[in-house]
Amino acid sequence: MESSPNPRTYRLLSAGNVALVSCVVVTLTTVAVWLFGLGQHRSLFANSLISTTILFTAFFAFTSMGLFHGVKLRDDVGRLTDRISRRHFPRTDFSDLDFGGPDFHFDGDGFAGFLLALLAWVVAAILALFLIWLLGALGRVNN
């Protein structure tokens, strides 16, 4: 009878350390791109695209290599909701607020509801891209 193979050992990373390092990397990358962009007179939009591209590439590489090598996160943070006191928030029930905008209800289950929600996200993304383009164009006019 064959013996069972040794259980695979995993490299454990502390979730708190990963979160702290991630915050430091995001801050340093954003500041570095902004500082290097000052000498080249890039717009805020161009600097933000460069920053998000660098951060996405680093996050994708970190996640891919971590999955490939079997790295796991140790949950040493615990439940964050236990650490946050609700008495500092004066109002937590926002169900009665009405902003007067359109009310969308995607109650459809299945494929039709999925397509409707996907279409709504595409429309929202196109509107957001147009708004970003408009703000960039207005910023160029003022310079």
Tell me the per-residue pLDDT of 12-65, one tens digit each, with 9 for 90 and over: 888 888 888 888 888 888 888 877 776 777 777 788 888 888 888 988 888 888
64 and 56 Cβ atoms separated by less than 8 Å: no
Q: How confident is the model at residue 123 (pLDDT cuts 50, 70, 90)?
A: very high
Q: Among 54-63, 109-118, 123-132, name the one with the lowest average pLDDT.
A: 109-118
59 and 4 Cβ atoms separated by less than 8 Å: no
Measure the N-to-C terminal CA separation of the chain; round to a whole number of Å.
78
Give the pLDDT score at 98: 65
